[in-house]
Amino acid sequence: MDERAQRLDRILGTLYGQAIGDAMGMPSELWPVERIHHELGEITDFLPGPSSNEVAVNYGRGQYTDDTQQALVILDALIETDWQPDQQVLGTHLVSWADAVDAWSRNILGPSSKAALNAIKAGIDASAITNRALTNGAAMRIAPIGALFQPYQLKTLIKTVTAVTKVTHSSDVAYSGAAMVAGAVTAAIAGYSWDDIVHFALACNDRGFQLGASTWAAKTRSRLTLAIGLADQYVGDAKGFSRAIYELVGTGTMISESVPAAVAIAYYCRNVHDAALMAANLGGDTDTIGAMATAICGAKNGVKSISPAWCQLIDDSNPQHQLHVYAERMLKYQIQMK
């Protein structure tokens, strides 16, 4: 495989990975692990959103949620401005998307994003909201940004991540969490080893953290260090590792829980298939953790490593987006930035 083909393969791996983890984790979203077991059993394949899940009920089998939808909205906004982040354009695109999918009344938006976008919609300065944002709305949609850059472009990567994130989240933990996910994708696409992917993600995390508004939130660096230790401790015991992440690191909507959980799951599973299923059965913010973890795995291994049937289901269930078109545009920008 030549260099261009390999880059495209890994960009597509990022996009399909994100979409797969999101769609696989959708049915169990925001349920405790006990309820997942009771109502769905062990998830082994894509399922439609159950009527008893007030968020997932909005989606059919193989449909991805706001995590991937917003990631693509961000790409649309960047394409419009020739890949230079513009706060007004980003905000306009996100508000237009929320209006189009009726995110306001369908319980689709997370609390931080909803409050920030309502402020933008009303023409109000949202910084008082974004500076306190501790939930994972910015990190869940950032993986494709990591696919635009190479490791030597770390400063530009962080500048872009924070500019994109700032529209709804500008706290230290939001910047660090988004930078951690994007950095992991950047290193994965570059072919780094799994240990080096984690090291680069931590370096990006630290740069991002320094730029955000101070909060009291638990530190994503410390949580990821804990989570990687658990991954090493539970080698060969996937159920034990999953339970340890659920009980010790946390799998809720807070950035300091879901982001380290996702990066550690990627590190542990090392492929889209296993990461998607682990996240779906995990309990907590399953679709968001799945989206982030499988995006990293897809970036590392490329789309050719993913089941063609899974990719086809994503295409068939989400005809409003053409992931191959996005990937070509992203590759063109990546080559220009080289």
- Residue ranges of the binding site for Mg(2+): 65-67, 285, 287-288
272, 20 contact by CB (below 8 A): yes
Nearest to 284 by CA among 32, 2, 13, 19: 32
Residue ranges at the known binding site = 65-67, 285, 287-288
Q: What are phi and psi of 254, to 5 degrees?
A: -65, 140
Collapsed DSSP state (helix, strand, coil) of residue 266 = helix
Tokens of 215: 């909060």
69, 101 contact by CB (below 8 A): yes
Strand partners, 31: 284
11, 147 contact by CB (below 8 A): yes
For residue 170, how many other CB atoms are within 10 A of its CB? Answer: 22
312, 46 contact by CB (below 8 A): no
For residue 320, how many other CB atoms are within 10 A of its CB? Answer: 7
Collapsed DSSP state (helix, strand, coil) of residue 31 = strand
- Ramachandran bin of 241, using left for φ above 0, alpha for ψ from -120 to 50, beta for the remaining angles: alpha
- Name the amino acid, one letter, at 204: C
For residues 209 and 207, what is the distance between their CA atoms, to the nearest angstrom?
6
Strand partners, 171: 213
Collapsed DSSP state (helix, strand, coil) of residue 133 = coil
296, 184 contact by CB (below 8 A): yes
- Find all residues with CB under 8 Å of 137, minimum gap 6, and list them: 70, 109, 110, 112, 113, 168, 169
